[in-house]
Chain A
Amino acid sequence: MAIGWYLAVSAIVFCIGAGGVLTRRNPLVLLLCLELMLNGANLALVAFARMWGGEDGQIFALIVMVVAACEVTIGLGLIVAIYRRQLPVDVDELGELQG
């Protein structure tokens, strides 16, 4: 399969994630859509690593996975804290971050 096909899949996944971030309001689903975007970028990185025959792109993809895991951890912690304070779990209502 040509590398271009993989890039097309990665672009489609990235755009689906971007559309989800814009249209959904539940922060949990928002985090999932961010994961989608990061995974699209990961696929492009790995495809380019295959294209050049070097593993540096795969290293980059692994680092992106680490950053995504950190982001998920902090985001889920925030959602749990929001839920504990009995605030609405909805990004439109949570417009301001006042303590």
Chain B
Amino acid sequence: MHQKNIKRRLKEIGIPILFFICFLIVWELSVIFLKFPEYILPQPTKILNEIITNLGKFLMHTGITMSEAIIGYLIANLLGFLVAVIFVHYRTIEKGFYPYAIALKTTPIIAMAPLLILWFGTGIASKIVASAIVCFFPILVNTIKGLRSVDDDSLDLFKSYSASKWQIFTKLSLPTALPYIFSALKISTGLAVVGAIVGEFVGANKGIGYIILVSTYHLQTVTMFAGIIMSALIGVLFFWIISLIEKKFVFWQGSKNGF
């Protein structure tokens, strides 16, 4: 039984990796034989070489982008959660603010980015804010939906124990909402990185977004690809960590989406 599980896991991980390696080989060979110029499509081996020889530089910039994304993510999710709790308990406040929350959500972050640079400067603050703005809505919407998904029967049960509001919140509403909350936490890992990189595109002198932008100016496509790969890795790593935490906290079911 156990061995069978390991075999299945190997298959699950092994097959995508195998496909990826095939893809890289086809890419490598087609660049060599079709003679694409390097500034259009560089060879994968060259990109890898670029990352390895300049590992220090790439890690430094990746680290900066990652910090911006994580800080923005944490602020947004904490704030979004608190606002959701307030909205659920005070209907009037929700009615008053919700339309504007939606309006802010529909405004593209790229349209707001120049303003953020103007207000918060070209340092990491503006990127943190950009990240936070895009991460704010998933957690807000999902927490509201999750807290409202408590069924009446369970509520009756708690009322029959004369449970306090706080007890109902911590022992019933919050665990009920957890699958929704984690769904939002996973969605916004990717969004957080997008926010940070958009911020860096508009005005920065550090970070992966900055590396990508500068390499475009100089037609250093190899560096650009390396930057794209690093940004993808940040997103994947971030998503993976949150998924692991989710498995630990929401073991009784998968995540639920409130959208």
Chain B associates with chain A: no
